[in-house]
Amino acid sequence: MTIEPVQPVDRLSSRSPGTRAMQTRERIVEMTAALLREVRFKELTTAMVTQRLGLTPPAFYRYFADLNEALLACADGMRHDVDGLADAVNAGTWRGRRAREAAAHLIDAFVDFWSRHGALHRVIDLLADEGDDRFVALRRQMFEPVTAALAPVTSSVGGRDPVIAAGIVVATLVHVTTRESGFVASGIAREDLREHLAEHVAAAVTGSRR
């Protein structure tokens, strides 16, 4: 299953919304994403979104069938920023000592990504775990551009498959950077964590610990 961007539709007319309607739809998407950073997902309602925007409750359903559909629209912006992570890979030099520097730059890009999208990503995980096929596919596909960018520069030393090796690197980056606050809470300095992660990523990409 491939998740395509949510296409704007005026559900009352079944046509693409006009300029003003598109602006309203975008405000709903932005407010939905913003509220995810303020309240628990289980507490978030469509009425809360429209109330914050000064809209009537039915306005939400003019553009989205339910809250989950609005969340998929929020994810369109998230996926756009994933392309920025891939750009961070392509901007680096993944050979020799420069690989450590490239890894550090990529880690910084991931941390910045989570500052904008961490709350939404947690909800995507939750809905995927609950069995919504749309979010299962979204989670699976989300970081494919980063894996695709890393694979060509990942060493095949020892007969490794570069795509698999790149996928493991990306999974490690996602897992560690999303949980950075947990490491810090346990007494690990943020700088030490990022330094060790950069060394691990550089070694995994180059196939060398030197």
CA distance 100 to 113: 20
Kindly state the tokens that stand for 122: 């947690």
Residue 70 lies in a domain: no
Q: What is the pLDDT of residue 127?
A: 95
**110-130: per-residue pLDDT in tens?**
999 999 999 999 999 999 999
Whether residues 59 and 161 fall in one domain? no
**6-30: per-residue pLDDT in tens?**
656 555 555 566 778 888 999 999 9
* Range scoring the smallest mean pLDDT among 19-28, 34-43, 145-154, 167-176: 19-28
Whether residues 179 and 94 fall in one domain? yes
**41-82: per-residue pLDDT in tens?**
999 999 999 999 999 988 999 889 999 999 999 998 898 899
Kindly state the tokens that stand for 14: 């079944």
Return the ∠ at Cα 49 (arms to 46 and 50), rounded to 5°: 90
DSSP-based three-state secondary structure for 114:
helix
Question: The domain spanning residue 54 has which CATH number?
Answer: 1.10.10
Average pLDDT over residues 133-154: 94
Q: What is the pLDDT of residue 114?
A: 96
Whether residues 45 and 125 fall in one domain? no
Nearest CA-CA partner of 149 in 78, 89, 103, 205: 89
